[in-house]
Amino acid sequence: MPSLKDLKNRIASVKNTRKITKAMQMVAAAKLRRAQEAAEASRPYTERFNAVLGGLAASVGGSDSAPKLLAGTGSDQTHLLVVMTAERGLCGGFNSNIAKLARAKAQDLIAAGKTVKVLTVGKKGRDALKREYGELFVGHVDLTEVKRVGYDDAQGIARNILDRFDGGEFDVATIFYAKFVNVVTQIPTAQQIIPASFEDAEADGASTLYDYEPSEEAILADLLPRGVATQIFAALLENGASEQGSRMSAMDNATRNAGDMIDKLTIEYNRSRQAVITNELIEIISGAEAL
C-alpha cells in the first residue's frame, strides 16, 4: 500500500507527463498542417512531371536504346532498399511500420537468393534495421539538421542513389515510405523507382505527338534522373505529413491515457486518505471509551 505522499507524487508526475504529451500533440497538429500544405503545393509539379515522363517513357521505352534508368540493367540480382523514416520517435507506429515493411521485403529478396543493400534516410529506420541488416547498409542520409524538407534535399538523396546506380552497385531500387491518408491512417508503401515504372501515366501522355527540342532521347535522358528526385521529394513530403499525423494521434492517445491514470490515482488517493481519517477516529473513540 503506497503512502499518501507517494500517491501525491505520482499524480503530480503523471500530470506533468500529460502536459508534455498535450503540448507535443498541439505542436504536431500545427506541423501537420504545414506538412500537408507543402505536400499539396508540390502535387501539380509531380503530376505534370509524371504525365510528361510517362508519355515519353511509353514512346521510347520499347526501343533498344532506352536508357538504363527506364529499361533496367537487364538483371534484377541486386536490390537497393531505400528506407525513409523520421529522425525522431514518439510518433506511434510510424517508424516501425515502415521498418517492418522493409524487413519483410528484405527477407523475401534474400530468400529468393538476391543480394540486398540498404540505404537509410532518417535515423529511426537505421536504428530499427541495424541489428538484423546492419551488414547490408551501404549508406545513411541524415536529415536531422533539415527543418523543412526542400527539393534540394531530395536531389541530394537522388544523386546519392544515381551515383551508386551508375557505379553498377545495384539493379533495382525501391523506396519505402508512409503514404498519408488521414491523421489516423498512414499506409507504409514500397515503390520501385529504378527502373522507372509508370502504370497510370502512360495512357493519356502517349496520345499527344510532340516536337522535341533537343531530341526525344536527350530530353528523356535529362528527365529520368530528375524523375527519381521528384519521386523521392514526393515521398519525403508524404512521410513528413504521415509522421506528424501519426505523432498527433499517438500523443492524443497518450494524453487520454494519462487523464485516465490521474483519475484512477486520485480515487486511490482519496480512499487512502479517508482510511487514515477513519483509523484516527476509531483510535480516538476507543481511547475515550477506555477511560
Partner 1 sequence: MANMMQFDLVSPERSLASFQVTSVQIPGADGDMTAMPGHAATLTSLRPGVVKVQSPEGDKDFVVTRGFAEISADSISVIAEHAHVGGDVTKADLEDVLSAARAAAENADADDKDAAEKFVADMVDLLDAMD
**To 10 degrees, the CA torsion angle through 91, 97, 99, 102?**
-150
Site residues for partner 1, 75-104, by CB under 8 A, read none
> Residue 278: what residue type?
T
Give CA–CA dist 196/232, Å, rounded.
Answer: 12
Give CA–CA dist 236/149, Å, rounded.
Answer: 7
151 binds partner 1 (CB under 8 A): yes
- Closest approach, Cβ 54 to partner 1, in A, equals 12
Beta carbons of 116 and 137 less than 8 angstroms apart: no
Nearer to partner 1, 84 or 258 (CB): 84
Q: Which residues 6+ apart lie within 8 Å of 94 measured at CB?
A: 85, 86, 178, 186, 242, 243, 246, 247
Helix (H, G, I), strand (E, B) or coil at 31: helix
Neighbours of 259 (CB within 10 A): 15
38 binds partner 1 (CB under 8 A): yes
222 binds partner 1 (CB under 8 A): yes
46 binds partner 1 (CB under 8 A): yes
214 binds partner 1 (CB under 8 A): yes
210 binds partner 1 (CB under 8 A): yes
Beta carbons of 7 and 247 less than 8 angstroms apart: no
173 binds partner 1 (CB under 8 A): no
211 binds partner 1 (CB under 8 A): yes
Nearer to partner 1, 46 or 191 (CB): 46
Quick one: which segment of 138-146, 147-155, 168-176, 258-266 binds partner 1 (CB under 8 A)? 147-155
Residue 91 a catalytic site member? yes
Pick the catalytic residue from 39, 60, 69, 91.
91
- According to DSSP, residue 198 is labeled -
34 binds partner 1 (CB under 8 A): no
DSSP for 94-128, please give it.
Answer: HHHHHHHHHHHHHHHHHHTT-EEEEEEESHHHHHH
Quick one: which segment of 41-49, 93-101, 238-246, 277-285 binds partner 1 (CB under 8 A)? 41-49
Interface residue with partner 1, options 1, 111, 209, 288 (CB under 8 A): 209
41 binds partner 1 (CB under 8 A): yes
- Closest approach, Cβ 83 to partner 1, in A, equals 22
Question: How many residues in total does the chain contain?
Answer: 291
Query: Which residues are at the interface with partner 1 (CB under 8 A)?
Result: 38, 41-42, 44-46, 48-49, 52, 56, 150-151, 154, 208-214, 218-219, 222-223, 226, 230, 233
Catalytic residue list: 91
